[in-house]
Chains A and B, each alone.
Chain A
C-alpha cells in the first residue's frame, strides 16, 4: 500500500505573501518529522502575476508537483485565482478562500470582465469551502499585510500538529519586528470555525 500523501495547493497573486506562508507551512511539517516537498516558480511569475505553491507531505514524497484531482486543501488568497486551479480539486477538497478581489490588468483596462459570484460558485461545487475576510481580520490584528498568515492559521486546523510547533517556526523564521502581529494573525485564523 502506498502511504497517504497530503496535497496542499496555495494560490494567489505575486506580492501577497504566498511564498512566505508556504515556507512556514513546509518548515513546520519538516519540524514535525514529515517528509515534505514544496515547489513554486520564481522570476517572471512575480511582478503581480499568478503564483502557486505546491506543498506535499507524508512518509515519503516523490513528485514535488500535485496531480490533477488530488488536492486535499486549497489555500487561496484571491477569488479569481481560485477558479484557475479547479482541475486540481476533488469534491472533498477543503477550500480556504480569502474573500478578496484584485483586478488583473486586462480588467483594469476594461478589456475583460472580472467574474462575479465566485464564492457562491466555488461553494456550490466544493461544499467544504470556508470564506474568510482575511484583509478585515489582518487589519484588526494590526497589519493588513498579514492576510497570508491569517489564512495559514485557519489552514493549520486541518493539519494534525500542535499550535506551538507553528509558533516555534514563526519565531525562528520571522524578523522580530513583525513576529507578534503575525502570531496574532495566525491565532485569529485558527479561531475561525472549521467546516465539517
Chain B
C-alpha cells in the first residue's frame, strides 16, 4: 500500500519522473526537446531505473518497446514533434501491444514557446488507436503515470500521456507516495510470441481485429474511469474540459458544472450524454484543435466550442473568460507607453557558432538551416539562416536546391546542422548527398552538446545520460566512410581561416563537409586559457560598426559617445558579458578592441 507522507512543489515534468519511480518503471528513454527534457533529467536521480538519451525519438521508442517486450514497465518521453519521428513504431506498436506497461509521454507546445509548430498530439491517440490521458497539474501528472501503466497492462496497449508546456513547466504541490519498486521488477524475461510480435501481413491482420476490440472495451472503460469526473453545480452551463484548460475554466467560472476528463481518448460517451442531460447548455473548452468538440457533436449533441475558444495558441484565464458571451472584462490601467524594443533570445556572448555564421553571411550563400541554438542566427545582423523545417532537414534541403539549380547553384548552397541534430537525423541525408553526388557544402557545428535544451549528452560527447564514459562518434571518419572525400575541420574562433575554408569548399564541385569544432561556451572548461575580457579603446574606435555585425550581446552601440575621429557613435563592450573570445578583436581594423586595462 502506498502511504502519503509529504508534499513537495514539483513541475509537471518532475512529477512525471516521480510518478514513473513510484510506479516501478525500470526503463526510460527519450530525446531531449522542450518542454519534455526535464522528465529524464529528473528520473536519473532515482535508483534502479535505466535511463538513456537515444539519438532520436524513433530510436527512443524502439528501445523502449524492446524493454517493454521483455516485461519491464517503460516510459518514453518526447516533445510533440518528436512523436512525428516516432510515429512509425508507434502505429504498429498499437497492433502488437505490450508486455510490461508502456507509457509514451508527448509534451505539446501550444503557443510555440520553443517549437516549429503547435500540432495537437491528441490527434495521434485517435490515429494510432491508443488511449490518452491528459493531466491538469503536477499531482495529476504524477498520478496519471501509474494509471497509464495500469491501463497499458490491463488492455495490452501503449498509453499516451499528454502534457503541455504549461503543465510540464508549472509547479504545484504534489503528495508523494512510497514507491512500489518490487511488484513489477520480477516480471522481466524473454518470451517468444511471434503471432503477437511479428507484424507481417497475416499476423497483423489478426492484430488489427484485436485493436478494434480493444478500442470497444476502452470506450466502455472510459465511462467508469475515475478520472473522468462530473462536478454538478449551477446547471445553466455545463463545461466539458481537460488538462490545463480545466484550471483556467475553474478560475473564471467557479460556479459552473463540469465534466473534467482525465482521459481524452477514447471519450466516455455515456458519461457525456448523462452530463449533457443535466445542464441547459454545453460548452467545450480545449486548447488547439476541436478534438473533444467534434466527437461530442458526432454524438449528436449540441455544444459550443471553437466558435468562441481560439484554435490558435495557448489559452489563459482571460481568453477563457471571452469564451462565454456577455462576460465583463476587468479594465487594466490605461497607460501611455513608449515603443518597447523587443528582446528575443540570442546566441550567447562568445558562442562558437558566430564564427561560421559570420563566414556564411559574408559568402552570401543560401543557408539551409536546422534546429538548435544556431537557428537564432537568422536574426539581424547575421541573418545567416534561410530555412528551418524540422530536425535534420537542412542537408536534404541543400541537396534538393543544389540538384534543381544545376550549374547555376554551384557554390551558392550550404547547410548547417548541430552535432546532436546531425546524430538525430542528419546522417541519412548526408548519405543521400554523397550517394546522389550533390555538390552542396555541409557545415556540422560540433559544440559537443545538445545546447538548446540545456546541454544534454549525445553520441558525440563521450558520456551517457547516466554519467558513464562511452564511445564518441568520429564524424570525419563517418563522412569518409559514406563516400565524402572533402572533410575539413575549422576553429570557428579563427575568423580569417574559417572564411577561407568556407570559400574554398563552396567553390569545389563536389560534396564537402566542414566541421566547426569548438565546445559550447556554457560548458565547463570551454573558455580558453588565453581569453581575457575585452574593452573598446575609444580613442581608436572609428565607429565603423564592423564588430557590431557579429551580433554579440556583449557588444553595444553608444550613439551619443564620441569616437576617435570626433564623430558621434562608438562601440562599447559590456565587461560583465564579454568572455574574451576575440572574434570582434579580429574584425577591428583599427586595433581599438583591447584587453581591459
A: which residues have CB within 8 A of B? 2, 13-14, 26-27, 30, 35-50, 61-70, 80-81, 83-84, 86-91, 103-115, 121, 125-126, 144
With A and B bound together, what is the CA distance between A58 and B376 in angstroms?
Answer: 40
| B478 touches A (CB below 8 Å) | no
With A and B bound together, what is the CA distance between A88 and B342 in angstroms?
Answer: 18
| B236 touches A (CB below 8 Å) | no
Contacts A36-B173, A67-B317 given; does A125 touch B556 at CB 8 Å:
no
Whole-angstrom distance between the Cβ of A114 and the nearest chain B Cβ: 7
Question: Which of A47, A88, A115 is close to B332, meaning CB atoms less than 8 Å apart?
Answer: A88
- Contact at B345–A111, with CB atoms within 8 Å? no
Most A Cβ at <10 Å: residue of B169, B332, B569? B332
B: which residues have CB within 8 A of A? 7-9, 34-35, 38, 113-114, 137, 165-166, 169-173, 244, 247-248, 250-251, 254, 316-318, 321, 330-333, 335, 337-348, 373, 376, 379-381, 452-454, 545, 548, 551, 553, 555-557, 559, 569, 576
With A and B bound together, what is the CA distance between A17 and B40 in angstroms?
Answer: 24
- Contact at B113–A43, with CB atoms within 8 Å? yes
With A and B bound together, what is the CA distance between A45 and B341 in angstroms?
Answer: 16
Question: Which of A14, A27, A36, A70 is close to B330, meaning CB atoms less than 8 Å apart?
Answer: A70
If A38-B172, A47-B347, A83-B337 are given as contacts, then 19 extra A-B residue pairs at C-beta distance below 8 Å, sorted by A number, are A35-B173, A36-B171, A37-B172, A38-B171, A42-B114, A44-B34, A44-B114, A61-B172, A64-B170, A67-B330, A69-B330, A89-B333, A103-B556, A104-B344, A105-B346, A108-B557, A115-B338, A121-B337, A126-B333
Interchain residue pairs A-B with the least CB separation, the first 9: A43-B114, A43-B34, A49-B345, A47-B345, A112-B341, A44-B114, A69-B332, A115-B338, A108-B556
- Contact at A49–B169, with CB atoms within 8 Å? no
With A and B bound together, what is the CA distance between A106 and B556 in angstroms?
Answer: 10
Residue of A nearest to B255 (CB): A2
Question: Which of A43, A64, A89, A104 is close to B166, meaning CB atoms less than 8 Å apart?
Answer: A64
Whole-angstrom distance between the Cβ of A125 and the nearest chain B Cβ: 5
Whole-angstrom distance between the Cβ of A84 and the nearest chain B Cβ: 6
Question: What chain B residues lie within 8 Å of A80 (beta carbons)?
Answer: 340-341, 343
Contacts A64-B247, A69-B330, A90-B333 given; does A104 touch B114 at CB 8 Å:
no
Question: Which of A14, A30, A70 is close to B7, meaning CB atoms less than 8 Å apart?
Answer: A30
- Contact at B170–A42, with CB atoms within 8 Å? no
With A and B bound together, what is the CA distance between A105 and B550 in angstroms?
Answer: 11
- Contact at A43–B332, with CB atoms within 8 Å? no
Whole-angstrom distance between the Cβ of B491 and the nearest chain A Cβ: 23
